[in-house]
Amino acid sequence: MNRDKLKQLLEGVKDGSTDIDAALNSLKDLPYKELGFAKIDNHREIRTGYPEVIFGEGKTAEQVGEIVEFLLSKENNVLVTRVTPEMFTEVHSLCSDAVYHEAARCITIRRREPVYPDTNIAVVTAGTSDLPVAEEAVVTAEILDNKVSRIVDVGVAGIHRLFDQLDEIRQARVVIVIAGMEGALPSVVGGLVDKPVIAVPTSVGYGANFGGLSALLGMLTSCASGISVVNINNGFGAGYLASMINKL
């Protein structure tokens, strides 16, 4: 249940079009639904504006399926991150219009018509190897009703490729920049645009990359202003934050 639906329900009780018992029935799963292995936070969208997202990693396919089935009963859009093919098979058996985003390792199900802001989000990657993290950010932002443009493979080893894309990047309300190796690209972009930059370090790189730690530290110590940094490989976190900024 979101704020608009709650408001409609309360107005219905006020004007007599909804009786109290029906209203109580609509609210029976607030603030959360107990499933035994999980407590589904039905109050989250009222508090934050976005429904709960399912983190698939560590869950069984059956657990993911049961959570998705409950969320669908509430007519929510559904996003499941870090999924396996087995999880998608389980979800698809419950919902034939579920979409598996293989590169992003995500499942989405849309139950509400999107309402897009006029502005958009740009997702910029340093290399092709960063695309799985980028796609997680894109899928997240899109299911949260944002228009997204992709600018791929414009890392600092060939900086002229970035300059060719600057006009498109500068048109965005917020820019997500994703890079592995030494993580230099967000600093470069941050020095060229007047929009907030969300930096995402990835674990792409050789030994001294330390699984993304070198990129993370490079981004945290950037001398460019207006950059925030999320965790290593956290495309979801970047897409979610970018959506919040894009809708301010």
Q: Each residue of 103-150: pLDDT tens digit?
A: 999 999 999 899 999 999 999 999 999 999 999 999 999 999 999 999
Give me the half-sphere count of Cα atoms (radius 13 Å) on the Cβ side of residue 223: 0
CA-based nearest residue to 170, from 153, 187, 184, 149: 149
pLDDT range class, residue 13, cuts 50, 70, 90: confident
CA-based nearest residue to 170, from 185, 151, 153, 183: 151
The whole-number average pLDDT for the span 195-215 is 95
Instruction: Number of helices (H) and strands (E) in the chain: give both, helices first.
Output: 11, 11
**Strand pairing report for 174-179 and 120-125:** parallel
Q: Each residue of 27-68: pLDDT tens digit?
A: 656 677 878 899 888 778 778 888 889 999 999 999 999 999
Whole-model pTM: value is 0.87
CA-based nearest residue to 5, from 66, 46, 55: 46
pLDDT range class, residue 98, cuts 50, 70, 90: very high
15-19, 172-176, 196-200: range with lowest mean pLDDT: 15-19
Alpha-carbon distance of 189 to 119, in angstroms, equals: 19
DSSP 127: S
The pLDDT score that the predictor gives to residue 64 is: 97
Q: Which residue type is seen at 30?
A: L
Alpha-carbon distance of 37 to 110, in angstroms, equals: 25
